[in-house]
Amino acid sequence: MDFGEKVLSPNVDGCLEQALADGVFPGAVMLVSAGGVVRHFKAYGAAQRLPSQRNMTRGTVFDLASLTKVLATTPAVMTLVESGRMSLEDPVSRHIPEYSGGWKDRVLISDLLIHGAGLAAWRPFYQEIVENHRLGSLEPGTPEARAAIMAEVKASPQVQPRGSSAIYSDLGFILLTEAIERTAGMPLDTYCEEHIYRHLGLSHTFFLPLGAEPPRRGLPREAFATTEYNRRLDRYLTGEVHDDNAHVMGGVSGHAGLFSTAEEIHALAVTMLKAYHGERGLLFGPDVVQEFWRRRVFPDGSMRAYGWDVPAREGSAAGRLFTGLSVGHLGFTGTSIWIDVAREIVLILLTNRVHPSRENEKIKQFRPVLHDLVMEKLVPESYAPPGSRVFEELVSHAGAQPANGQQGIVPGWVLATDALGESSDTARPQASRPLEAIWFKCKKCREIIYRPDFEANLNVCTQCGFHHYLPVRRRIDMTVDEGSFTEIDAHIVPVDPLEFKDSKTYRERLAAVQKKLGVHDAFVYGSATLDDLPVHVGVFDFTFLGGSMGSVVGEKVTRMFENALAARTGAILIAASGGARMQEGVLSLMQMAKSCAALARLKEAALPYVSLLCHPTTGGVAASFSMLGDVNIAEPGALIGFAGPRVIEQTIRQKLPEGFQRAEYLLEHGMVDMIVHRKDMRRVVANIYSMLYS
C-alpha cells in the first residue's frame, strides 16, 4: 500500500491506529520530545500476535537490531576516544594487529564508523556455522562460533576502494566489536553496561547473551516484543536476538543484539543532545558528540556521520522536515530513532514489524509519512529557514512581519499541549534570536545549514562539502601555532591617488568598508611559528572589496617576502582575491611585478614559499605570486584563473569544458600540485613547510 498517496488522519494517534489496521506492524511504541520535554509517549497494538496475543505497553523491551550500532558500539568508541585509549585516526591494525597487510593497513577506526572502509554490506556467516553444527563440528552461540565469524570478517575482501562512497556495512561494526573489546579488556556488553548504561541509570538496556543465567535478565517473556518465527530454532523469538549472525555469535555483537525500551533510548539520546549543545559534566563531553554527529560527504555525494545516518536529500526515512543537522538510524526489526539536533527534537519509533515475518516491508513507506506528520506539529515551535513554508507560518502565527524586507526576528512558540494528538490556542513565546545567527544558506547547493555546525566545520558546507570563505583571523589561527602570530605593518593605509569615482568616490568606499570590518585593507601578514619553525604568513581578506590588490596590498605582500628573506624564514600566502583593484588603475597592476621581484629574491636564497589558493583566486593575484609557490595547494572547488569563465566564453564565443578553472580541473592539467580539504590543511602545510625549510 502506498502511504505516500493516502490521506492519513491529521491526528498522530489516528495515523498509528490506521497503520495497525493496514498491517504495517502488529504493535508500536512512539516517544517524541522537544527541548527535553516529552510530548508524546504511547503504546499501540500487540507485542505478540502469534502463537498468542499480548498487548504492547510503554515499557515493552524491543530487539533494537541495528540501533545497536548507535546506542552501544558508537557510544563505546566515543568513551574510548575521550579517555585517550582510541583515536578516530587509529589504523584498525593498532587494535587488531592481525588485521593488516595491503589495503587493510590503511583502514582507520573512523572508516568503520562512517561505513567508508569499502567492506561488503552483509554476508550470511551464520549459514556456515549452522551447516557445521548439522555435521556435528561447531555449536552456534558458542565462543568458538563467534571466533569463526570474526575470522571470516577479518578475511573479507574490499568490494570498493576505501573512502569512495558509503556502503552501510555490518562487517565494519563486527570489526569494531573486536577493536573495542581488545582495547577495553572486556566484552562489549560488559563495557557498555559498566561505562555507559549504569552511569545513566538504564536498567532495561542490555545485550542478552545466549545461555546466560538467568535468561532474559530475569524479566518475564511478556516484557519483550516478539519478533520473527525462526525456522532453524522452530520458535518465535522473544527475548533473544533476531539477527542471524548475532544469534550464532552468542547474542553480543557491535552490529546487532541490543535490547531496550523507548524511555531508556530517549534518556541516552537526550544526554548526547545536551552534550552537543555544550552542557558539561555528562557522560559525554561536547567535543566528542559534536565530532561524531558532524556529517561527512563522500566523493559520490553520499553522507554519513560517525556511526549515525543523516537525512538524505530525497527519499529519506526521516521524511522531509528534519533539518540538515539531524542524525538517526534504523533497525531491521522495525525500530528507528531520529534526532533533529538544531531543533532539539527526538523521535523514537519502536515496532515489531518482522512479527511474524520479515517479508512485511510496509514500514518503509509509512515511516517518513509519520515523521512528517509529527514534525508538522512540532516544527512551528522551532526556528525555520527564511523563505520556507514553515518560516511563513511562523511569521503568520506570531503576528510578526520582517522589518524592511529583512529576515527579522521571529519568536519560537510552545503550544500548550501534553500530547501531539491534542491542541490548544494557548501559546507562550520563548527567547528570540536573529535567523541569520542560526542558519546559513550554502551558495553552491542552496541547503539551509545550522550555523554553529557550519562554523564548527571550518565554514565547509555540511551538505555538499563546498568551502566557503573563512575569516582572516580564523584562517591564521588554524594555520600557525597557537598564540605565535604577530602582525606586521598593520598601520599602512590606502589613499586615493587617482581621485577615482563611480557611483561613489573611492575614499567613500574605503571609509565604509574600513568602518564595517575594522581593518585598513585586504591583506594581513606577520611572523609566526608552524610546528615551532619560524615562518611569515599572509592572508587575503575577501570581504574587503573582494580581496582586491591595490598599492597597500601589493606593498604588504612585497614586505612579507622581504621580511621573510631578512629573517631567513619561509613564507606562506593564502589567497582569496578578485585581482587588481580597478580604483587604483595601473598602480594596482604594478604591484604584480613588484611583489614577484621580492619573491624571486626569496627563492634565490632557497627559502620556501607555499601558496594556498582559496575560492576565488582570480585576476592579477592569480597571474602573479599566488601561482609561483614551490608548492601550490588549492582548496576543493576553488575558482582559480585570470578572467572569469563568463568573460572568457563571451570573448572566444565557445562553451568552456565542465569544471573549467576549478581546482580539480587545474590539478588535472598540472596548474596546481594538490587539493587539500580544509580540515587537513594545517597538517599538510606543516609537513610540506617542514620538508622545504629543513
234-270 pLDDT, tens digit per residue, is 999 999 999 999 999 999 999 999 999 999 999 999 9
Three-class secondary structure of residue 41 per DSSP: strand
The pLDDT assigned to 644 comes to: 79
Instruction: List, for residues 581-637, the tens digit of each pLDDT value.
Output: 999 999 999 999 999 999 999 999 999 999 999 999 999 999 999 999 999 999 999
Three-class secondary structure of residue 170 per DSSP: helix
Supply the Cα-derived Rg of the chain in whole angstroms.
29
Residue 534 is given by DSSP the state E
Greater pLDDT, 81 or 378? 81
Cross-strand pairs, 70: none
Task: Give the residue carrying C-alpha cell 490556542.
Answer: 425
- Helices (H), strands (E): how many in the chain? 23, 25
The pLDDT assigned to 395 comes to: 37
Q: Note whether 629 and 599 are within 8 A (CB).
A: no
Tell me the C-alpha distance between 564 and 556, whole Å.
12
Using pLDDT thresholds of 50, 70 and 90, give the confidence band for residue 405.
Answer: very low
Using pLDDT thresholds of 50, 70 and 90, give the confidence band for residue 435.
Answer: low
Whether pLDDT at 514 is above 60: yes
Whether pLDDT at 487 is above 50: yes
Dmax over CA atoms of the chain, in Å, equals 96
The pLDDT assigned to 433 comes to: 43
Using pLDDT thresholds of 50, 70 and 90, give the confidence band for residue 460.
Answer: very high
Residue 574: closest CA among 602, 546, 615, 543:
615
The pLDDT assigned to 315 comes to: 87
b/e code 115-135 from CB counts within 10 Å (16+ = b):
bbbbbbeebebbebbbebbee
Residue 322: closest CA among 447, 445, 201, 188:
447
The pLDDT assigned to 342 comes to: 83
Using pLDDT thresholds of 50, 70 and 90, give the confidence band for residue 666.
Answer: very high
Greater pLDDT, 361 or 411? 361
Beta strand spans in 188-281 (E): 206-207, 229-230, 235-236, 258-260
Whether pLDDT at 423 is above 90: no
The pLDDT assigned to 3 comes to: 32
Task: Give the residue carrying C-alpha cell 612585497.
Answer: 558
Instruction: List, for residues 522-536, the tens digit of each pLDDT value.
Output: 999 999 999 999 999
Instruction: List, for residues 371-386, the tens digit of each pLDDT value.
Output: 999 998 886 544 444 4
